[in-house]
Amino acid sequence: MDRKAAIDQIKESCARIAQELMRLNPAVPALGDRAASDDIYKALYQLTKELETIKKRVLRLGQSPDQPDL
């Protein structure tokens, strides 16, 4: 797999993960447990932050000149 293909694959995977995370939000209140909901929302926030970190890093890689494979 070359660099561009890897970047494209990561971008596509991140997009799918983001869509699935958005699907979780409306389901959380139906659990009926405030403490559990709070914990789940905190975890979803952390997951979203980490996903954004991946997306930003890959975006920077896509904008930089090709680096040799390590």
List pLDDT tens digits, range 13-35: 999 999 999 999 999 999 999 99
Task: Answer whether 0.85 is exceeded by the pTM.
Answer: no
The reported pLDDT for the residue numbered 61 is 92
The reported pLDDT for the residue numbered 48 is 96
The reported pLDDT for the residue numbered 38 is 97
Q: Which residues contact 65 (CB under 8 A, 6 or more apart)?
A: none
On average, the pLDDT of the chain sits at: 92
User: Which helix or strand (DSSP H or E) is residue 17 part of?
Assistant: helix 3-24
